[in-house]
Homo-oligomer: A and B are copies of this chain.
Amino acid sequence: MAFFPAALDNLIDRFASLPGVGRKSAQRLAFYVLSMPDEEAIGFADTIRAAKKEVKRCRVCRNYTDHEICPICSSDRRDRSVICVVSDPKDVLSIERAREYNGLYHVLHGVISPMNHIGPDDIGVKELLVRAANEEVREVIMATNPDTEGEATAIYISRLLKPFGLKVTRLAYGIPVGSNLEFADDATLTRALEGRTEI
Contact = CB atoms under 8 A, between A and B. Distances in A.
Nearest to A39: B52
Interface of A: 1-8, 10-11, 14, 18-21, 25, 27-36, 38, 41-55, 63-67, 71-72, 88-90, 92-93, 96, 109
A11 B45 contact: no
Contacts of A8: 51, 55, 64
Nearest to A9: B51
Candidate in A2, A25, A45, A88 with the most chain B CB atoms within 10 angstroms: A45
Contacts of A27: 90
Instruction: Tell me the dominant secondary structure on chain A's binding face.
Output: helix
A31 B92 contact: no
Nearest to A110: B35
Contact of A51 (B10, B54, B67, B93): B10
B3 A54 contact: no
Contact of A48 (B11, B31, B93): B11
Nearest to A38: B52
A45 B49 contact: yes
Contact of A34 (B7, B45, B55): B55
Contacts of A20: 25, 28-29
Contacts of A90: 27-28, 31
Nearest to A52: B41
